[in-house]
Structure 1
Amino acid sequence: MVWALAVTETVSYGVLYYSFAVFLVPMREELDASTAQLSGALTLSLALSGLGAVVVGRWLDRWGARWVMTTGSLLGGASVLAWSQAEDLGQLYLAFAGIGLASAAVLYEPAYAVINTWFRRDRPRALLTLTVVAGFASTIFLPTSQFLIDGVGWRPALVVLAAVVAACALPHALVLRRSPADLDLLPDGRADADPPPSAAASAAPDVDLQPYRGPGGAYRRPAVRWLTLAAALQMVANAAVAVFLVAYLLEAGAPAGLAAVAAGGLGALSVTGRVVLTVLAARVGIGHVTAAMVLGQAVGVAALFLLPQPVATVAFVLLFGVGFGVLNIARPALLGHFVPGPVFAAVSGQQALAVQFGRVVAPVAVGALITAVGYGAGFTAIAGCVLAAAVLLVLSDRAAGSS
């Protein structure tokens, strides 16, 4: 099940999100639209994905991920097909509205809900497998998309990718089930043993759900509030760095080749960071390890200004990149300990909305700051976001321990 999800997540992220960058240039030429106008379609998709995650989360808690992910894959394929036929901005935006809704149904949030339901003891390992494999989505689908465009043109290339996304509906329908009980199993695949004493509170069938309902819901718990805010702040920093790093390095005098390698290196090191997190978390505790790795991102930003080039860029990529994807594992793992299983998906969907909001506003907010004051102020704000996120992660871990 985990490997099936890992493959479908890689495909979904690769086509529904990352491939846009490759199609931007040929679309701009044929649709006679500006980069900003075309990028607005992706922004719309991200916004609807965040909003849709809240609704999808509630569905997942009641009925599981099987049919929502199956339907999402079919909608994603149909929406990418509509993208291939778009003749103007209106049609393009309509297609990306569908892509946004499909993304809410097939990207990380529903996969996290599946893993939270099916795993207790082996949850960190399952999350690691999922996010490490899916971490190569851009590595696989950016060159694949370019190869297809060069070979058959951008519209037929999208038709091929639409079919690949739609094909993910098959493993979702065949493999996914609502809970281990559907296959006469217990979490972690155990068929004849009781849950271990250390299992998370979410494993308890008689847990009182009333405190997690009504106004405020799970956010009445400080641990959930701080975790959500930390995830949103780190996303602001990550998204801003993804957009502005190359431009800053070129302005700072770094060679163009080094700037390009630095940007690509962040994604590769994020995979390394997830492995490091999983190994260390088993010994130290996931909350404090995550906080330390996010704090390292702030140190990496400081290195950009304090060290000479190219040492500054190398230090930044190493420190910032290792922390780049840690919350993809840490957030669902921590949330699984903070809230009961029957409300996990709903709360996770609400967190996804906050994280997606950070992704959407980061380029605009940090871009405005850079335009008004300069790159120094913009990257100082980025450092402030990850520093605050690290502090909030420590507070979240302590609040959970004292409750």
Structure 2
Amino acid sequence: MRSSTQRQRPLIWTLALLSTVGYGALYYAQPLLAVATEQTTGWSRAQTGLAFTLALLTNAALAPVVGRAVDRFGGRLLISGGAALGAAALTLMSLHPSYPGFVACWVLAGVAMTLTFYEPVFTVVAQQFQAGDRRRATLTITLIAGLASTIFVPLTSAGLQAGGLTMALGILAGLLVITAGLGWAVLPGVGRHTGAKHHMVTPFAPDASFRQLVLSFTLARIVSVGTGLQLAPLLLARGEAPAVAAALAGLMGLAALPGRVLFGPLLAALGIHRLTTALFIMLGLGPLLLATTSSVWLASLAITLFGLANGALTLARTELLVGRYDAGLFGTINGRLAGPVNLAQALTPFGVGLLFSGSGSYLPSLWGLSVLAALSAWGLRAQVLDPAAAWVTRRVRRPRGRGAPDRGRPR
């Protein structure tokens, strides 16, 4: 029988710390590290940007493989190992390698991202908790990890100012080593409460409903990344003061936290399909209002709605999957969904950059992002009308004695 949330607090906090440090050291610190690297080496922004893009592409490519592995082996070795790999990547960067070596370090960091970001962490949560306990655990993790940029941007900046690039990388690597050790001590090992202990699952075969879900969340990620990237430049281009632009950009991230807190009550009131559809619509209102008004107050409203939806969608994605699949399949299925979603995240900056370069305006991309959000909401229409028509999964028990495996009922 699974432990309660009360008894599993060390696990929840360990997963939260692993996610926070993983996102902070490997993702949010990158822009500051890139500038410092360019100043140290003379490389261009295109060169540092290419290395980071390759890290994100590596993350996208490995997501399905890592998902299956966490289903089979649990989180201790993989997530703790991911933090250690991240530490190794940053330590190697501090040795000031050649440009090919620098790229290789970021590719290694991309592997670490796949092992420490939300996807494997949520798989462990799905293996360890049920229903309300799972939602509370996921909420705690995302609330803490949602502060990663708030913590690691100033921390990285302080490290750079105090001792330069080498010190900043050393601090980040050291934090990853600490969390790797903590994860090894606390996370369940192979065969302890994992889905792999009890079941052998058939290879996952996505159907039309799952493919539509992947498409909706992929489009939503494009909207999320594209809007976030262009917010501050858009406000500055409209003549807002840098302090105002920075404050509104911070509001976007801050609004994600109450969005996650409100997710539980809204889920109880609306159900997961209607709630997710509403969140996609709210997400699209952000770029739509930014495209149609120059009022700073309406821009604040747009950013607040966008941030609330963006934060809650992290939980909605998990809830949609665990409501349909056995815990022993969660990593596999979440990994299959994460691949294209993370690929979209890696390529969206290039796409919106092309649109701006070609038009000289932010309006085409903002209108386009609004349309993509509407398509995300439209894609869930059939599941809102008939949730029972969504995909099903088969569970296969390990054979005992002779004969074919016994096929269990879909959940």
CA offset digits 1:305-328 (Å, max 9, x no partner): 333421232121111111122221
Pick from 342, 360, 370 the counterpart of residue 328 of structure 2.
342
Secondary structure of 1:182's match?
coil
Alignment match, 1:6: 16
**CA offset at residue 140 of structure 1?**
0.3
Number of residue pairs matched by the alignment = 378
**CA offset at residue 338 of structure 1?**
2.2
CA offset digits 1:51-81 (Å, max 9, x no partner): 1222111111111111111211111111110
Secondary structure of 1:243's match?
helix
Pick from 273, 280, 290 the counterpart of residue 259 of structure 2.
273
8 Å Cα contact 2:224-2:283 kept in structure 1: no
1:316 aligns with 2:308: no
Q: What one-letter code is carried by the residue in structure 2 that aligns with 1:59?
A: A
Q: What one-letter code is carried by the residue in structure 2 that aligns with 1:381?
A: G
Alignment match, 1:391: 378
Secondary structure of 2:130's match?
coil
1:149 aligns with 2:136: no
| 1:3-402 aligned within 5 A | 3-121=13-131, 122-178=133-189, 182=192, 209-210=201-202, 213=203, 217-220=204-207, 222-373=208-359, 374-398=361-385, 400-402=387-389
Structure 1 residues 209 and 8, CA, compared in 2 at 3 Å: closer, same or farther? closer
CA distance in 2, matches of 1:63, 1:315: 45
CA offset digits 1:123-178 (Å, max 9, x no partner): 22111111111000000010011111111111122112111101111221111115
CA offset digits 1:336-389 (Å, max 9, x no partner): 122222222111112111111110111111221222233111101111121111
**CA offset at residue 22 of structure 1?**
1.5
Greater CA drift, 224-233 or 367-376: 367-376
Q: What one-letter code is carried by the residue in structure 1 that aligns with 2:161?
A: D
Secondary structure of 2:175's match?
helix
Alignment match, 2:3: none
CA distance in 1, matches of 2:382, 2:172: 43
CA offset digits 1:254-304 (Å, max 9, x no partner): 332222211121111111211112221123212222221221122232222
Alignment match, 2:400: none
CA distance in 1, matches of 2:389, 2:171: 52
CA offset digits 1:22-70 (Å, max 9, x no partner): 2222211111011111111111111111112221111111111111112
Identity of aligned residues (%): 29
Q: What one-letter code is carried by the residue in structure 2 that aligns with 1:26?
A: A
Greater CA drift, 118-127 or 353-362: 118-127
Unpaired runs of at least 5, structure 2: 1-10, 391-411
CA distance in 2, matches of 1:162, 1:306: 44
CA distance in 2, matches of 1:37, 1:396: 44
**CA offset at residue 399 of structure 1?**
5.4
Alignment match, 1:197: none
**CA offset at residue 209 of structure 1?**
4.7
8 Å Cα contact 1:269-1:322 kept in structure 2: yes
Unpaired runs of at least 5, structure 1: 188-201
